[in-house]
Amino acid sequence: MVAAALGAALTLGAPAALAGTAPVGPSGSAVAVAPKAPKASAPASSQSATWVAGTRAYLVITAPGDSSAVRSAVTANGGTVFSYFDQIGVIVAHSSSASFATALRGVSGVQQVGATRTSDVPADAYNPALPANPAQASTPAGEPARADMTQIKADQAWAVNPGSASVKVGILDTGVDDQHQDLAPNFNAADSVSCAYGKPDTRTGAWRDVDTHGTHVAGTIAAAKNGKGVVGVAPGVKISAVRVAEPGNSFFFAENTICGFVWAGDHGFKVTNNSYYTDPWQFNCPDNIDQAAIIEGVKRAQEYAEGKGSLQIAAAGNENYDLAHKTTDTASPNDSTPVTRTITNACLDIPTELPGVVTVAANGTGTTKASFSNFGQGVIDVAAPGQDVYSTLPGGKYGTKSGTSMATPHVVGVAALIASANPGITPAQIRDKLATQANDIACPADGRCTGTTANNSFFGEGQVDALKAVGATPPAGKYFENTADFAIADNSTVESPITVTGVTGNAPATLKVGVNIVHTYIGDLKVDLVAPDGTVYTVHNRAGGSADNINQTYTVDASSEVANGTWKLRVNDNAGGDTGKIDSWNLTF
């Protein structure tokens, strides 16, 4: 879902699915492209895998939980286990045997098996090279107002709420240049990773950009407000790179996306940006045995991430195609030789058409439809600027791209602002707010546009509005926050302070206490709000069992307490075996 940089068409080693479809030029015209209880197992890998020509990748779908028996069957039938995600019952297997998939489908406990590509797994998968760390160019001072930001009123929103550092955004893309002067202040290396080939690679720099696309997306979301370059929609939030693209071709295969979504859920990303479709199939059809497994595997990973509190937002694609009336696919498979095939609406653009994912169309100048943007009644959720968007590029550079890839990070930034203004908000609630804050756009004089002004096939609920996102539901009173991390060790107590000043009289009977704790097995934890005079108010007392993380807003009757003074969040760990941290917390008076 990408476009052109610096006036030239984006050149790819192969017709990968950036932003979902073919790149578009800077004018918007299409560019021709051959297109714990028990705790879940962490992703693991085979140490014996050796690449040979003809090695293909497969998703082996089984019931969530211990997959050791099925993994043994993979090995016994001529395959190797490259990685596995027992949380969702997905194994990534490699094999050079033509009979592997058929044999595995007959194994007890195996629900589905599907090849994820029509090309060989690259040898690089077994010993991945680190992406380049480019030298950085310097940028003159100045952050000129940009049309895309004023169009969605982001420039006005910054004065109200530029975004909270406790909100983490994951960029599932080609990687991010974390050294870029406009991205480094907001970059979260601790939660960044490469998921290329379908296995987490946590080496420093593995997340860096193997193209330019992910770095451009990152700048639109959260480039720092630092007096130079550009400013992102939500310049106060934190961004993490999850590289799901493979080097050399920028392919986003299903195992990579699955790894990325599981990582997003496990690492507390409030929102993820997904400006791609899952290669090699532009549309995955459930009547195809391989594509059915891809649908199931990616769907499970998305549901897992959302269950952990993460909302996925995805680009609609750049082929000016009606996603509500599918007839043909001429771009698949894009890792070998595409063929023309007849399809129906049962065939899905993944991840954008999965349940729960917010689908983004691109506006051109003002409230027009970008000529390249896909559309579809009941498919498009919201729209945002995607034409000639100026943002960050690797090496400290900047450039212009167009595409639904460029529209999506605007929506992700607005979602991050919504989360910043509403601590503890759920993915479903963010989805609802994205819809209600959007400004309606009526259909133009174009017979393909169906629906109403309030919701139609070109713009969905309308164009996002960053000012409404931060102003529609502002904190009812003064707001104080501590975003510093405080480690929670086994059988220990830790306190995080907030000093409140400038509030007259006592605290309210409805004091809002927003708590963001990252900790496995929250049944170990007792969480108290300690007033300045030492009075203790318990908000969480060893509930939740084996669930991970506390991200919730509590209401406390603190009306007997003087508001001004130092308040503390006290966390007591009462058992061994699980640790974590106070990631952030806040008070709204």
The catalytic residue among 86, 148, 173, 465 is 173
Alpha carbons 513 and 497: distance in angstroms, whole number: 13
DSSP letter (8 states) at residue 317: -
Q: Which residue has tokens 């919701």? A: 455
State how far the alpha carbon of 33 is from the alpha carbons of 12, 51, 139, 255, 580, in Å: 9, 30, 33, 24, 47
Alpha carbons 134 and 111: distance in angstroms, whole number: 45
The catalytic residue among 46, 194, 250, 405 is 405
Q: Which residue has tokens 């004065």? A: 159
**Short-list 285, 289, 290, 293, CA closest to 343:** 285
* Beta strand 358-363 pairing with 382-385: parallel
Judge whether 27 counts as a catalytic residue. no
**Short-list 58, 5, 18, CA closest to 331:** 18
E-strand ranges in 100-207 read: 110-115, 168-173, 193-194
Judge whether 213 counts as a catalytic residue. yes
**Short-list 250, 271, 232, 267, CA closest to 196:** 250
State how far the alpha carbon of 152 is from the alpha carbons of 85, 190, 498, in Å: 39, 31, 33
The three-point CA angle 164-169-172 to 5° equals 170
CB atoms near residue 449 (< 10 Å)? 17
Alpha carbons 485 and 128: distance in angstroms, whole number: 32
**Short-list 294, 303, 305, CA closest to 347:** 294
Q: What residue spans of 24-95 are helical by DSSP H? A: 68-76
End-to-end CA distance of the chain: 43
Judge whether 173 counts as a catalytic residue. yes
265 close to 303: Cβ distance less than 8 angstroms: no
3-state secondary structure of 253: strand
180, amino acid identity: H
392, amino acid identity: T
Alpha carbons 204 and 310: distance in angstroms, whole number: 24
* CA diameter of the chain: 75
41 close to 66: Cβ distance less than 8 angstroms: yes
The DSSP-derived string for 477-512 is S-EEEE---EEE-TT-EEEEEEEE-S--SBPPTTEE
The catalytic residue among 213, 216, 267, 519 is 213
Alpha carbons 394 and 134: distance in angstroms, whole number: 7
DSSP letter (8 states) at residue 267: T
What positions carry a catalytic annotation? 173, 213, 405
